[in-house]
Structure 1
């Protein structure tokens, strides 16, 4: 073998290559990498290894978590679902499941309180509420509720956004999407609403200006987006727009100036109006309307 300067051996034969870097042409025998031990791996070996890894994946990493499955069925939130699971109210394939991390597989049959449930696409509705119906809290018993008006809208439980009392009129949002309902019901969310209010007596112009400039109610400064007399209406008919997510705020504003509210009608919620929606009727929200609500922060 030739020796280079200083007696060192010359380069090895250029046709000789390390096994770990050899790239033999020929499809299945092509070396594309190394194994965990550092040995060369052919394409055929690599594919076989990946198949084995895939087949050895535990089933508990597949499927959907049980609490999410229940929430997606529109029954309750994930946190509430955990309580029901722990209480033994949930059955999978006719067996009670109390394991929090349990994952539901595609062919599993899930029952909640004896009723079969399945996840579904979320639904969103707009109701034009009439007088005489109340927004009942969970567990309340009443003869006429807004839930009665929405009974035929969906096969799933609907969550309402905001509250209107028995004399309250106007728009309410209903959805199977509990995450959206909780977001829209958050007191800190600036959800714009336009109210048409009728007072028992005429609103003085000076008091209208006071409301427009801002009031202090229970130590909190209250600002409205806009307030004015209804066009072609009487001086006791007022339009008032707020981004305060509090059901009693309109009544509190006028009562702070010694006015009583005879009626209140929600005529707009974040761009949603009563157009072509008769009193007592509901409609589905369009995809764009849902997107507009989802973008609220």
Structure 2
């Protein structure tokens, strides 16, 4: 029999038993789970970074739309963020596959997809020498597509420009009377053929998006998507309480009842300054709402369109959209912008 030293009670066994052993196994399993998650998360990040490098080029000032901005370039009117080296507009690769003719024209910078459908139906478009009047006609990437005899080439680089439109400029790419258009303000910002998304009257100022992305233009202008716009309105006389309430109920116009989502006084002490939020894209809709009740709109400025604002963009100037802004536009939900 082994003789006891009397110090055994001060020694702790190194062998774990019962609950202690179970806890050790539990912790080891948790550690293995954490390591496995970390491994797959790292793989996911590496794949995402590789995809981003292969498919996207950083926009000038692509800092998520935030940050300090410099004064506009004196020559081009472009607004750039501080501390960012000049770069190229956002570029995304298109898949080389057949597409509907109206979509092909939109990607070629002719106009939006809905307008392109009308152009096709008018008989102005030929594909490989044959007149095509069906907007859904499938076109190969290398097809010889012409509008009024002028060849149209699909754009590879998608460009997105936000402009703070001033008064006196037409929201169009060309004017037969040779009046000033919004494209005159861009000073060859891009070699791609871009066009305005939606329309602002000649005497309306504010946020205007220009792009050659026909799919996005279609999404932002289609009535079913209920893209919201916010306007600052200046009237020739104070808006009465009765008319204020009538507008909120709906305004009967020749092309149907016009509804506003929000109506408010920008300055409670000045009833001529009105803020209007609506999602209708009908022609001159804001002006016609107030003209219906005998008001003359002295000034109309769009301060927001599809979540985009003119912040840090002086009147008559422009900037490329940041990558985050483009993603937000592509994946917005109905009525959220």
| Contact 1:198/1:263 (8 A) holds in 2 | yes
Q: 1:87 aligns with which of 129, 144, 149?
A: 129
| Alignment correspondent of 1:279 | 315
Distance 1:83-1:296 versus aligned 2 partners, 3 A rule: farther
Task: Report the RMSD for the aligned CA atoms in angstroms.
Answer: 3.4
- How far residue 194 of structure 1 moved from its aligned partner, in angstroms, is 0.5
| Contact 1:158/1:175 (8 A) holds in 2 | yes
Distance 1:189-1:247 versus aligned 2 partners, 3 A rule: farther
Cα deviation digits, residues 46-100 of structure 1 (max 9, x gap): xxxxxxxxxxxxxxxx9644867776444566977893324379xxxxxxxxx97
Distance 1:117 1:284 in 2: 22
| Contact 2:159/2:192 (8 A) holds in 1 | no
| Alignment correspondent of 2:42 | none
Structure 2: tracts of 5 or more residues without a match: 1-94, 132-136
TM-score, normalised relative to structure 2 = 0.56
Q: 2:286 aligns with which of 250, 254, 257?
A: 250
Distance 2:104 2:251 in 1: 46
Distance 1:268 1:69 in 2: 29
- How far residue 161 of structure 1 moved from its aligned partner, in angstroms, is 1.4
1:236 aligns with 2:272: yes
| Contact 1:254/1:261 (8 A) holds in 2 | yes
| Alignment correspondent of 1:262 | 298
Q: 1:178 aligns with which of 207, 214, 221?
A: 214
| Contact 1:194/1:266 (8 A) holds in 2 | yes
Q: 1:127 aligns with which of 145, 163, 174?
A: 163
Cα deviation digits, residues 155-202 of structure 1 (max 9, x gap): 111121122222111111110112222332224431101100111111
TM-score, normalised relative to structure 1 = 0.63
| Contact 2:173/2:181 (8 A) holds in 1 | no
| Contact 2:162/2:208 (8 A) holds in 1 | yes
Distance 1:293 1:229 in 2: 29
| Alignment correspondent of 2:29 | none
| Alignment correspondent of 1:222 | 258
Q: 2:197 aligns with which of 148, 154, 161?
A: 161
| Alignment correspondent of 1:145 | 181
Cα deviation digits, residues 12-47 of structure 1 (max 9, x gap): xxxxxxxxxxxxxxxxxxxxxxxxxxxxxxxxxxxx
Count residues with an aligned counterpart. Answer: 223
Distance 2:255 2:185 in 1: 38
Structure 1: tracts of 5 or more residues without a match: 1-61, 90-98
- How far residue 118 of structure 1 moved from its aligned partner, in angstroms, is 6.2
Q: Which has the higher contact order (CA 8 A, sep 6+)?
A: 2
- How far residue 126 of structure 1 moved from its aligned partner, in angstroms, is 0.9
| Contact 1:159/1:177 (8 A) holds in 2 | no
Distance 1:114 1:167 in 2: 32
Distance 2:189 2:269 in 1: 35
Q: 1:199 aligns with which of 232, 235, 239?
A: 235
For residues 13-32 of structure 1, what are the structure 2 equivalents within 5 Å? none
Structure with larger Rg: 1
